[in-house]
Amino acid sequence: MGSVLIRLKVLPDDVSVSLDELAEQISVKLPQGSFLLRKAKEPIAFGLSALILDIKVAEGEDTLDRLESSIKEVEHVSQVDVVGVSRFSTSL
C-alpha cells in the first residue's frame, strides 16, 4: 500500500487563535499512520490567517474522510478544505 500527500487549508474560528498551537493540536489528533510534514500560514483578510498543512497518510478507502473528520473535531477549527491530493513518492 502506498502513501498519499494531502494538502489542507484549515481556518480557525477566531483571529485570536494561535495557529502554531492549533497545528500542534491537529497533529496529535491525526489518524494512526498519518504524519504532519509541513505547516504554513496564509493570510486571508482582516487579520485572519489559515493553516496550510501537508499531511502524509496511508493510501486506502475513506482515508480523506477520516482525516477531515479528525481535524474537524479539534477545538477552534472552523473549516477544513482539501487543496490537493497526490501520491507520495520518496524516490527521485
Quick: pLDDT tens for 9-25: 999 999 999 999 999 99
Q: Which range (7-16, 57-66, 71-80) has the least confidence?
A: 57-66
Q: With respect to residue 77, please indicate whether it lies within any of the assigned structural domains.
A: yes
Task: Give the tens place of pLDDT for each residue, 15-52.
Answer: 999 999 999 999 999 988 899 999 999 999 888 899 99
Q: What is the pTM of this model?
A: 0.87
Total domain count, the chain: 1
Would you say residue 75 lies in a domain? yes
Residue 60 belongs to domain with CATH number: 3.30.70.60
Long-range CB pairs of 66-74, under 8 A, 24+ apart, other chains included: 66/31, 67/6, 67/8, 67/30, 67/31, 67/34, 68/8, 70/29, 70/30, 70/31, 71/8, 71/10, 71/26, 71/29, 71/30, 73/29, 74/22, 74/25, 74/26, 74/29
With respect to residue 21, please indicate whether it lies within any of the assigned structural domains. yes
Parent domain of 62: 3-87
